[in-house]
Amino acid sequence: MTNTLTIRRPDDWHVHLRDGQMLKDVVDFTARQFGRAIIMPNLKPPVTTVEAGRAYRERIMAAVDPALDFTPLMTAYLTDGMDASEIERGHAEGVFTAAKLYPANATTNSSHGVTDVVKIHDTLETMQRIGMPLLIHGEVTDQHVDIFDREAVFIDQVLQELVQDFPGLKVVFEHITTKDAVDFVMESGPNIAATITPHHLDFNRNAIFQGGIRPHFYCLPIAKRELHRDALRKAATSGNAKFFLGTDTAPHVVAAKESACGCAGIFCAPHAMESYAKTFDEEKALDKLEGFASLFGPAFYGLPVNEGTMTLTRKDNTVPASITADGTEAIPFHAGETLAWSVN
Ligand code: DOR
Ligand code: ZN
């Protein structure tokens, strides 16, 4: 039995750090575990300009504990009719690592998102030319489509065509939740990859309704049925370099979650690596964790792997029931549970 695992220091390829006091309260959870993180741009207002990206990066660096070795990788929020030259300049100046496609109104702070991919064709062409990755929230927003089908329908209605139209574009299909997405990524070329969250590996949609409505298990894309979770677990632990780590940690204060119209998002940063280790251990694939967490992401983004290491030890680790955030409290993923792994 493996009781200690030392891997290259991992990276998180999908993080919501927020802003202001919330940023100050949550950033170190990510910086403690990860060398780099791709920072989502869905602030209010969203990060749509090079100057906004640079300023947000400075606020992150001012908030993080200086003793931690952490680099935020910034993203631009794509909008209809956006000026492609702004994205190109941001990439050339080392501000934007990638750009994010939120279909308009798909999720939290996405009202300025893209209403039709045709409206960003110029930008996608530029990104393809300069080798800048496109990160996609892959759900259709048509309210007539069942919420559990929105990812699969997005593949059929949007993604297939996008990938055909831009065959050289690097695409990350973010936080995938379905077997359909796993199959799509596996069947696509090497420029198409996906991130997988710890929570979509850990529970299926029953958890949202277990004995009552459980807002802390609600995120978007919503967790699907067991066959999909099973496909995600197989993909993540397979050693296939197209699938890598992205937590989608998305903190909201308790009042925003426990509400008549609660926000989507799971605050998984505090015990992210312990949670992934749980899944890989259960799948008898701890030897595959390093690739997923530390090697495949940098390879896809064309970056070197981190210099340092992380050691995970089989040691009971109780997750707090709540964590101070934004002047009040947020509930972390696995709150109150005892996990079998600890990060040293
Ligand atoms: O659950 C989610 N929360 N999904 C998203 O796509 C956005 C995120 C957030 O920003 O809260
Ligand atoms: Zn997200």
Tell me 18's DSSP state: -
Q: Of the listed 12, 25, 248, 326, which one is catalytic?
A: 248
> Is 202 designated active site?
no
Cα dihedral 157/199/32/302 (nearest 10): -30
Asked whether 250 and 21 are in contact (CB, 8 A), the reply is no
Cα dihedral 343/320/261/226 (nearest 10): 50
Q: The pTM is what?
A: 0.98
Segment 43-59 shows an average pLDDT of 97
Residue 46 Cβ inside 6 Å of ligand 1? The answer reads: no
Segment 303-315 shows an average pLDDT of 98
Please, which pLDDT band fits residue 86 given cuts at 50, 70 and 90?
Answer: very high
Relative to the CA of 109, which ligand 1 atom is closest? Answer: 10
Segment 90-115 shows an average pLDDT of 93
Q: Which DSSP helix (H) or strand (E) runs through 186?
A: helix 179-187
Give 216-284 as a DSSP string.
GG--SSPP--HHHHHHHHHHHTTT-TTEEE---B----HHHHSSTTPPP-BB-GGGHHHHHHHHHHHTT
Residue 101 Cβ inside 6 Å of ligand 1? The answer reads: no
Please, which pLDDT band fits residue 109 given cuts at 50, 70 and 90?
Answer: confident
Give the distance (Å) from ligand 2 centre to CA of residue 49. 19
Give the distance (Å) from ligand 2 centre to CA of residue 268. 12
Please, which pLDDT band fits residue 108 given cuts at 50, 70 and 90?
Answer: confident
Assigned fold of 9-310:
TIM Barrel (3.20.20)
Amino acid at 297: G
179-237 confidence digits (pLDDT tens): 999 999 999 999 999 999 999 999 999 999 999 999 999 999 999 999 999 999 999 99
Task: Kindly list the distances between the CA atom of residue 228 and the CA atoms of 87, 108, 135, 182, in Å, as whole numbers in the listed order.
Answer: 35, 24, 21, 9
Please, which pLDDT band fits residue 36 given cuts at 50, 70 and 90?
Answer: very high
232-287 confidence digits (pLDDT tens): 999 999 999 999 999 999 999 999 999 999 999 999 999 999 999 999 999 999 99
157-173 confidence digits (pLDDT tens): 999 999 999 999 999 99
Segment 115-139 shows an average pLDDT of 97
Task: Please report the pLDDT score of residue 106 as a whole number.
Answer: 84
Question: CA nearest 144: which of 135, 160, 157?
Answer: 157
3-state secondary structure of 71: strand
Residue 221 Cβ inside 6 Å of ligand 1? The answer reads: no
Question: CA nearest 217: which of 237, 231, 198?
Answer: 198
Q: Which residues contact 34 (CB under 8 A, 6 or more apart)?
A: 9, 10, 11, 12, 70, 272
Structure tokens that stand for 114 in this block = 């893209």
Task: Please report the pLDDT score of residue 334 as a whole number.
Answer: 98
CA atoms within 13 A on the CB side of 176: 35
